[in-house]
Structure 1
Amino acid sequence: MIIQQKAGKLRKSIEVIFTLAGWGFLVVFLFNLATHFQRRLSFAFYTLTISNTTAIVLFTLLTLIIGTGTLLYWSHYNKKKYGGLSRRKPPEPVTTKEIAEFFQLTESDVEKLQNEKYVTLS
């Protein structure tokens, strides 16, 4: 399902620019991967030393802390801004009279249709 919104020209332009930049990055990455691929792979990059491992763990923890803080702040902001609103209301019940008027039937016909097990319309 695609959700369509009314967006201004500036927003659409920014979305197009970011989308093209993302696709461009992907194309350049795949091109570099294809042109610099060697038959013999070297796994020297994947060797971990103590300093390398410490940097990776610190970066991961820092990212986790920043992400958690952002989500907590966003949650608090949404509760403050939208928490007191009660916009959702259940629909009002429809009477047999309203159904009869809508379908141009009598109320007795509507009640008959509602109570029958099988209904054949022609």
Structure 2
Amino acid sequence: MRDETVMLELPDIIQRPDLQSRRQRGVFALLSGLGWMLWLYLFLPLSTLLGWAFGSVRFEAYVIDSHEHSWASLSIYAVTVGLAGMALLLWAFYNYRRFRHADRRRPPAPLTTERLATSFGVRDAQVEHLQRSHVTTLRHDAWGHIVAIETVSGPCSEAIE
């Protein structure tokens, strides 16, 4: 039986939100938000169980049932959550304004045999031999340099220097 490697051609992912209308982006954001809400809703029983295990009864007794402290405590919590939310929104707006026209995500340069050989400290022919072999054992010295290459068919014909 012959061992062949089948290369599948994967489609390129095209991300071009500038080609979508404002309405399409809004609908996508709404659907995405609804999906995340549904996903988080699925974890509600787990959060209820954890709250019960770690003392949500205490929270209810000290904050909800205690009439002299409930409004004061809840208002402090609401202000704290509001301030934290505002800080996050300000940070997001700052980052949006700062990086809105800068696209730093560039694909890396294609890895050539020469660059790979240089990074490992071996010859181009050895890299090509490694790429053709299916099972390879690399031996390293104490400093991490490759000192020996062994493949299933036998050791590499060229010695490592």
Give TM-score, length-normalised by structure 2. 0.38
Structure holding more helix per residue: 1
Structure holding more strand per residue: 2
Give TM-score, length-normalised by structure 1. 0.48
